[in-house]
Amino acid sequence: MDLREFIVSQTDAGQRLDVFLAGASGFSRARIQRLIADGHVLVGGRPQKPRHRVNAGETVRLRIPPATPLDLVPEAIPLDVLHEDDDLIVLNKPAGMVVHPGAGRTSGTLVHALLAHCKTLPGIGGAERPGIVHRLDRDTSGVLVVAKTEAAHQSLSRQFKARDVEKRYLAVVHGEVRQDAGRIEAAIGRREHDRKRMGVRERGGRQARTAYRVIRRLPGMTVLALDLETGRTHQIRVHLSHIGHPVVGDQVYGGRRERSRSPVPGPRAPRQMLHAWRLGFHHPRTGNWLEFTAPVPDDFLRLAGPTLSGIE
C-alpha cells in the first residue's frame, strides 16, 4: 500500500478536496473521487466528501491500493515500436486498431497487445486503460505514447493536461482551403440529441483551438498540417467539419457528402484521412524534450501524393 501525505498551504485553502488532491498528487480528478469513495483519503484522520473545502494546515493522507489485476487476456499482436525504455513506449498505431477495450470490443485492442509486450502495465492509470495517457480514434493512424510505470503515467498526464506537449497531425480534407494558414477557435461539446457525437457549441462547450497550414492543394481536396492547441474529443474532425472542410473518409462528421459515399477525385478513401504525424513531450524521468514522428501510411499517400514536404 502506497501512502502519501500532503499539507494544505494558504494558497490551496478553500479548494474542494478532490481538486486539491488531484493537483497535489498528479492523478486525475475522476480517479481521486474513486479513491475518496473507497475510503482511501483521510483529512485530519477522518474521511470527507469530495466537496469538502480544505483548510490551511490540514493534513491529507492518500492511500493508493495495489493495482487490481486486469481481466484481460494478453494477445501477441505485432506492434510498430518507435521508441521504448523503462518508463514508456512510443508506438505507430495503425488505422483500424482500437486503443482500449469497450462496449462491443473485447479483444484485438492496443491494450491487449501491450499486455503481451509489456509485463508491467496492469493497473497503471486504472485497471481499464493500463498506461494509456491519450488516445487516437480507431481509424486515425500515428504516434501514441504509453506509460509503463505509475510515475511516468502521472508525469505524462500532467503534461497533456497542461498542454505542454506538441501534437501535429496531417489530414486530407474536402474542398479547397483558400487560406494558406489559419486558426479555428470554437468550443466543443456533446450534441444534445446525439451524445455519442461531438459538435461546436455556443453554450456548454469547452474551449478548443486548432491551427492549420496548407501543405498541398489537389483537385477537390486539400492536404493540411494541423497543430492541436487543446485536446478535445474528436477536435480536428469537428473543427474541420465546422469550417466546411471535413476530413475525407470521415463517416461521422463528413456531412451528407460522406454519408452518401459520394466519390471524391482520385482513389476512394479506405478510412478517415487523419494521421498523428508528430508527438513531442518531456521525458517523465529525465525531463529531456523528445520528439517522435510516425511515417505517413501508404493509404494516406495514395490520396495525398507519394511525397509530402513542408510539414516540419
- Condensed to tens digits (0 to 9), the pLDDT of residues 160-177 reads 988 899 999 999 999 999
Three-point CA angle 108, 100, 270, nearest 5°:
65
H runs (alpha helix) in 126-196: 150-161
For the chain, the domains span: 2-64, 69-157, 168-277
- Distance, CA of 77 to CA of 272 (rounded, Å): 23
Burial of residue 66 (number of CB atoms within 10 Å: 0-12, 13-18, 19+): exposed
Identify which of 273, 196, 189 has the alpha carbon closest to the alpha carbon of residue 232.
189
Most confidently modeled range among 104-118, 193-207, 227-241: 227-241
pLDDT on residue 70: 62
Residue 259 has pLDDT above 50, yes or no: no
Residues in the chain: 312
Contact predicate 210/226, CB 8 Å: yes
Q: Look at 8-22, 54-68, 110-124, 262-276 and tell me which has the smallest mean pLDDT.
A: 262-276
* Residues designated catalytic: 137
Can you read off the three cell numbers belonging to residue 294? 510516425
**CATH class for the domain made up of 2-64:** alpha beta
Q: Do 168-277 and 2-64 fall under one CATH topology?
A: no
Can you read off the three cell numbers belonging to residue 95? 488505422
Please give the helix or strand (H or E) that residue 113 lies within, else none.
Answer: helix 110-117
Identify which of 136, 146, 135 has the alpha carbon closest to the alpha carbon of residue 95.
136
Superfamily of domain 69-157: Pseudouridine synthase (3.30.2350.10)
**CATH class for the domain made up of 168-277:** alpha beta
